[in-house]
Chains A and B, each alone.
Chain A
């Protein structure tokens, strides 16, 4: 079964960080419609700083831990702890692994989602990052037995579909929740950044497998 080496995964995480930084204006623009318009800036600040401290040769867990340190230690806000726990709990699953295969990848995503739910009060359906993340976890778990390539395709699709589904949701959590019905019709910024992270990570893994 296809797998990739844990060591040398730092470059993949830097790609994820680069994608966040590149899309800062877009993320802020989406956030501004129903939030305070700073999502892209705060995310770019955190991931940009993390990328500077990650080496291409780092293991996946080491690189994730660096992201967590920056998000939790320097960024704050709500995304700091939420994504901080996401990456830290994912790191715990892959720590010490020589190679990472599709079932490990699925377990990693599942742990990340649980970490987010443990620290915040949000649940899928609240119009938040979990609406991209949880469908991706399910897709990974359902397809892991078929191998990595199919898992990655499914994860990408689930994350993007989940992100798009937030358009029709009413915000139940965060500052947008004060808007009630008025929050409908706008894509959620957290789900957008989460889908971006998952899709970029899946792309980077795919490139390493081949």
Chain B
């Protein structure tokens, strides 16, 4: 059941290519052997079990059909079944498997070609590329065709080794930088020094410090994986002073990468060399976005499997036998066609869709790379846009603090929740606002560890206030983080926001959800903390702000998740959802499309009945876009909202108009009011400076 459904809904997306085996396409196989492997037509005929005239026909047809155009052929080669199985089994971003046997060229040279091509696919202008050393790395560097992407930088991944080998880190990095017309950053120190003290001294040198800084800025790294057999690179580069050293301390190690050692599970094996090694640490390696491992040969199976398990590689270039060995060693069932003796067959036609199955809606177009990396990439871009406001905690894209230090003795304010609501939550970090924000996956609460990191960053002795929307996931995760913080001696108080009036009747105020009104509540909480009030007062005032805040929203279209790129619920062309939530969940009531004024009236009637607005009431007003709705339409909506408030005699202290709390790309809007008393008005208008919210 599930499989057929998965097929129906899992149509093509950017990260998945249709599987295709060499054996299914004899033209492609023949073309590869001829053009890539340099085999003669007779050799191909023998390999494929065909007559020579058939091979000639294949090759000419391959030319006619454009299969020998490298970019097309290679795209299809990437989808070899083994590569696809590797991608599925290890969750790789990409995998390229080359045939193990291939004419006269050595496996290392052919891996070099494939590695160079893979590097080319992933390389973009202005990137910083790290490269390790070794035979295969030199083959990669040598195979990269000259290209001229702007502002590339190549960084040597480790310090230097003995010059007795031709494939030293310097040689490899230099060769690659020349091919790419890139700036090269060497590491001007040995990879292994004699004493830990020497390393510590060297690392204080400004020149080396600057070079090591480049290593922490890698967008991509190309690395080999070394087995620990006697003549492997790791030995020939003089890593182990003596065999005893290896035996005693690295008994559990099965492989080495960037001069470090890992065991069969991919866990770092720490030995005496660690304190003496100068280069990219394994933890930092895992933080590099694109980690291209190029390595093949059957003896590499344990080392490669360990590297995959440890997550040190997310793009793999290897050969068919090695890939199969890795899959088998990891307990996967390998489906591999015999490539050489398969009779020519036409490609399998796509299965016809089941009768009566409605066609799925078209994919929504989005600015995306890898959908799975969408949140990290978005956070990185926002962090880069607003360095004066926000900064990472411990290098995380998901635990973010204010860029400027908070005054000592101030109550810390931590907010957070799922991603997909930007500029919520990180736009409300800064002086007079929150001190730290924990960011989850899309529409999913952040885990406790991350919230705890925020809490610790925000704590300066006066306690920490947690404020977040009332969703079961957020409540559970913040609660656990709060308990952990208490155990560390940080006093934590919590306010959950419940401004969404559409969710349930007023009698269930505490059960309601937090939506766009969060913005007002965060603002008031931030201002209270900024006044250096004690924790109990900050908590009480924030509770009061929550009780005074009311929101109602209308959705015109459903938003869509980056991973599915399909609308998250079905809405007819002439239908709208009244009281829609901010997670793509449908609203409480479906209605026919109506004019902007009618929508505004629907919302205002709801708010009037809840918020007790009467002549002389003073409010803050937020007319918020849910993600897709333009400012122009917000203006149209706001016009009527103001008319209704004026008719009621309500005084609007200030109006905020724009995308403040969104639901991905949903079209629609929400209106929030905060009913002000003297204290709340004073705090609402107090100066603050977040990138999405500034007063004064």
Contact = CB atoms under 8 A, between A and B. Distances in A.
Contacts of B514: none
B331 interface: yes
B9 A41 contact: no
Contacts of B443: 36, 38, 77
24 contacts: A23-B6, A25-B5, A29-B9, A32-B568, A34-B586, A38-B442, A41-B561, A48-B91, A52-B91, A53-B309, A72-B447, A75-B441, A76-B440, A77-B440, A77-B441, A77-B473, A78-B473, A79-B444, A80-B444, A174-B472, A178-B587, A179-B588, A180-B588, A182-B586
Given A23-B6, A26-B2, A55-B265, A38 B444 contact: yes
B115 interface: no
B444 A120 contact: no
Given A25-B9, A78-B473, A180-B588, A36 B331 contact: no
Interface in B574-616: 579, 581, 583-588
Interface in B410-459: 418, 440-450
Nearest to A24: B6
Q: For A23, A45, A76, A77, which residue has the most chain B Cβ atoms within 10 angstroms?
A: A76
A37 interface: yes
A143 to B, nearest CB: 26
A182 B570 CA distance: 13
B311 A178 contact: no
B655 to A, nearest CB: 28
Nearest to B473: A78
Contacts of B617: none
Chain A binding surface, main DSSP class = helix
Nearest to B7: A25
B563 interface: yes
A22 interface: yes
Given A37-B568, A52-B309, A25 B503 contact: no
A88 B43 CA distance: 59
Contact of A76 (B265, B447, B513, B581): B447
A9 interface: no
A37 B445 CA distance: 15
A168 B233 CA distance: 64
Interface string A169-193: 0000111101110100000000000
A201 B1 CA distance: 18
A176 B473 CA distance: 13
Interface in B467-511: 471-473, 476-477, 480, 502-504
Contacts of A14: 331
Given A11-B331, A178-B513, A81 B477 contact: yes
Given A37-B564, A174-B472, A77 B444 contact: yes
Nearest to B451: A76
A6 interface: no
Contacts of B6: 22-26
A26 B1 CA distance: 9
- Describe B's contact surface by its main secondary structure: loop
Interface residues of A, number: 48
Contacts of A96: none
B472 A35 contact: no
B585 A120 contact: no
Nearest to B91: A48
Interface of B: 1-3, 5-6, 9-10, 90-91, 265, 308-309, 311, 331, 372, 418, 440-450, 471-473, 476-477, 480, 502-504, 513, 561, 563-564, 566, 568-569, 579, 581, 583-588
Q: Which of A33, A41, A176 has the most C-beta atoms of chain B within 10 angstroms of its own C-beta?
A: A41
Contact of A78 (B5, B471, B503, B561): B471
B215 to A, nearest CB: 25
A2 to B, nearest CB: 24
B265 A178 contact: no
B476 A78 contact: yes
A41 B371 CA distance: 11
A80 B477 contact: yes
A124 to B, nearest CB: 16
A28 interface: yes
Interface string A86-100: 000000000000000
B449 A73 contact: yes
Given A73-B447, A73-B449, A38 B2 contact: no
Contacts of B480: 72, 81
B293 to A, nearest CB: 15
A69 to B, nearest CB: 10
A38 B563 contact: yes
Contacts of B472: 78, 120-122, 173-174
A42 interface: yes
Given A28-B564, A72-B447, A36 B440 contact: no
B460 to A, nearest CB: 26
Contacts of A122: 472
Contacts of A176: 585
Contacts of A49: 91
A48 B309 CA distance: 12
B331 A80 contact: no
Among A34, A78, A79, A178, find the residue whose CB has the most chain B CB atoms closer than 10 A.
A178
Given A11-B331, A48-B91, A56-B331, 10 more contacts: A32-B566, A35-B583, A37-B584, A38-B441, A45-B372, A76-B441, A77-B445, A78-B472, A80-B444, A80-B447
A178 B587 CA distance: 8
B515 to A, nearest CB: 11
B3 A36 contact: no
A37 B447 contact: no
A179 B440 contact: no
Contacts of A24: 6
Nearest to B480: A81
A178 B581 contact: yes
Nearest to B398: A76
Contact of A36 (B9, B447, B583): B583
B584 A53 contact: no
Contacts of B585: 34-36, 175-176, 178-179
A74 interface: yes
B568 A22 contact: no
Contacts of B504: 178
A11 B563 CA distance: 29
Contacts of B586: 34, 179, 182
